[in-house]
Structure 1
Amino acid sequence: DTALLYGNQEQVGRALRQSGRARSEIWVTSKVGFFPPGSDKLWMYSADNVKGDEPASIDKCLQQLGVDYVDLMLLHNPIASAAEYNAACLPHFFEHFNSTGSDLAVRPSHLPDGSCLRDLITTAKGMQAREARDLAASRSVRERSWRALEEAQRAGKCRYIGVSNYPVPLLEEMKEYASVMPAINQVELHPGCALPELVSYARQCDMAVIGYGTGTFVSITKSPLVTQLAEKHCVSKIQVVLRWMLQRGVVSIPRSTSKDHIHENLHITHFELSDDDMQELDGLDRAYPFYWDSRPTIDTL
């Protein structure tokens, strides 16, 4: 699983060639269309990865990876304007960047009166996104981006196409313009952001759900319940969360920065969480993302 945004596709392509495996034996996923149009002053901007330029972005992915096709190409997010982008990516600055010690992290988390700074800024940025919204323009951006993926699939550049970070209302909107509905929706998903409505909706639509952010949930929350269940089943904390996802019918994509991580990620089939275990983990859901807030995009409907 990679993306034009990640800047590692050439290394991934090199590893594919050095593996000695046939191309058909390795599943490759990439993503394009991260930045909204007219957004060159945004945080982390790249001119190669803008909505409206998906055909060129897809070709660049194939070139960097050194392949003729990818198995799955995703639209990286549904953001259609700079105001939406600034509101949607806020969790990065309060959660993910704080957990990694990044200079981009926002500190402190609370004001002296106890008010949560993240909640206050999220509300303010959400209002800015609503005030700046252009409903017709936002839909046009999303529709044009998706049609580009449909064309790439017809051209044989990707076997399957899907989306990432799309909430249910935007998936419903897609039914009005999509010739092919997404095969997959990749979203942040863990016990703290369980997205039960989206998982249920995807199941009804025969759409697979891929979840990211499992390791971040474990490292940030340090949940006593997860620790307790790990000790109960003699497994690691990340294995508890991965098993919870598996039993919910969600595909997980944990990081694999070492051989030990890969081994740990794979060995989640030798134990099973009980119904009580699952219910307790379900009870951790606060609809609280660490990476991406989908509400600003829903507000463009």
Structure 2
Amino acid sequence: MELNLQSTVMLNNGVEIPRLGLGVYLAARGEETRQAVRSALVAGYRHIDTARVYANERDVGAAVRESGLPREDVFITTKLWNSDQGYDSALKACERSLKELGLEYVDLYLIHWPVPGRRLDSWRALETLLRDGRCRAIGVSNFMEHHLDELLARAQVVPAVNQVEQHPFLYQPSLLRHCADKGIAVEAYSPLTKGLRLTDPRVVEVARRHGRSAAQVLIRWCLQHDMIVIPKSTHAARIRENATVHDFALSPEDMRQLDGLNEDLYTGWDPREVP
């Protein structure tokens, strides 16, 4: 698979999303977020992922504007938070996010979590926002197979993306196949395990063979499993390093070795038991 930083995935509605992006989860509002986004855009990233609950949408929007890049050149994702779910409240929440970002539209708007009793009404709202041009694509986050099946039984629009935690220590091939069968792209968040497994000797050994960092190996693993991936960093050098993953490839044996590391390690939320 030949990839570069400009490589994209075509979503099920024809919108193209860059395969590699910058996540800004837990990036502090203000200069930390702005500097991270500026560094990413200078390094060639064209995909920024934020959320209302991160409280840094305003800084993401400001950094994109300060970059001087045309709006259509930067793919921006934000998300509907749990307390805003429901039909009317979701419509209002999207407008608040657009105001914070200073944008007329977002490229991708996601339901952040499968809140029982509210997620279906939230999805109807996202379908309305899509029709109204407030977002170019809509999707979900942290949805397992049963959540997707419930949604698809009632939805008019198939989600374009399911953003879930994914890395070799949380490898869910059945979920990946389920999404692929439904035409839903998978986007991996926390691909670096929030640092918890970057010193795992089995990952370090693969990295040593390729002359790469453990972080680069984990990102490349996601890409070779045909996922979109959004590593988070606020350090310019690491942001650049995380983008330097297109000039090497993991061998089939490397991939098998990494696939075998699964331990169901959720570094954040575990949505499996959400009804």
Same fold (TM over 0.5): yes
- What SS class does the counterpart of residue 186 from structure 2 fall into? strand
The 8 Å contact of residues 231 and 242 in structure 2, kept in 1 or not, is answered as: yes
* Residues 34 and 51, structure 1, Cα contact 8 Å, conserved in 2: no
- Partner of 2:109, secondary structure, is strand
Query: Which consecutive unaligned segments of at least 5 residues does structure 1 have?
Result: 36-48, 81-137
Q: Say which of 275, 291, 294 aligns to 2:252.
A: 275
Give the aligned partner of residue 65 of structure 2. 17
- 2:111 partner letter: L
Distance 1:18 1:217 in 2: 29
Amino acid at match of 2:55: G
Residue 204 of structure 1, aligned match among 181, 189, 207 = 181
| Equivalenced residues, count | 226
For residues 194 and 216 of structure 1, what CA distance do their matches in structure 2 show?
A: 12
Q: Find out whether 1:66 has 2:66 as its counterpart.
A: no
- SS of the residue corresponding to residue 136 of structure 2 reads strand
Hey, what's the Cα distance between the residues in 2 that align with 1:202 and 1:75? 16
CA apart distance, 1:229: 0.8
Structure 2 SS opposite 1:74: strand
1:1-301 equivalence runs, <5 A: 1-35=49-83, 49-52=84-87, 53-80=89-116, 138=117, 141-216=118-193, 218-220=195-197, 222-297=199-274, 300=275
Contact 1:190 1:245 in 2 (8 A): yes
* Deviation, structure 1 residue 146: 0.4
Moved more, 234-243 or 217-226: 217-226
Q: Is the 8 Å Cα contact of residues 198 and 214 (structure 2) preserved in structure 1?
A: no
Q: Is the 8 A contact 2:85 2:122 kept in 1?
A: no
- Residue 259 of structure 2 aligns with an amino acid whose one-letter code is D
**Counterpart-to-counterpart distance in 2, 1:221 and 1:13:** 31
| C-alpha contact 1:75 1:164 (8 A) present in aligned 2 | yes
Query: Which position in structure 1 is the counterpart of 2:9?
Result: none
Q: How much does 1:295 deviate?
A: 2.1
Q: What is the SS of the residue equivalent to 1:158?
A: coil
**CA distance, structure 1, for counterparts of residue 271 and residue 239 of structure 2:** 30
- For residue 260 of structure 1, report the CA deviation from its aligned partner: 1.1
Quote the offset at 1:221 in angstroms: 6.2
Larger radius of gyration between Structure 1 and Structure 2: 1
Instruction: Output the aligned Cα RMSD.
Output: 1.3
Instruction: Work out whether residues 255 and 261 of structure 1, in 8 Å CA contact, stay in contact via their aligned partners in 2.
Output: no
Query: Contact 1:31–1:74 at 8 Å: present in 2 too?
Result: yes
Shift of 1:170: 0.9
- The residue type equivalent to 1:59 in the other structure is E
SS of the equivalent of 1:211 reads strand
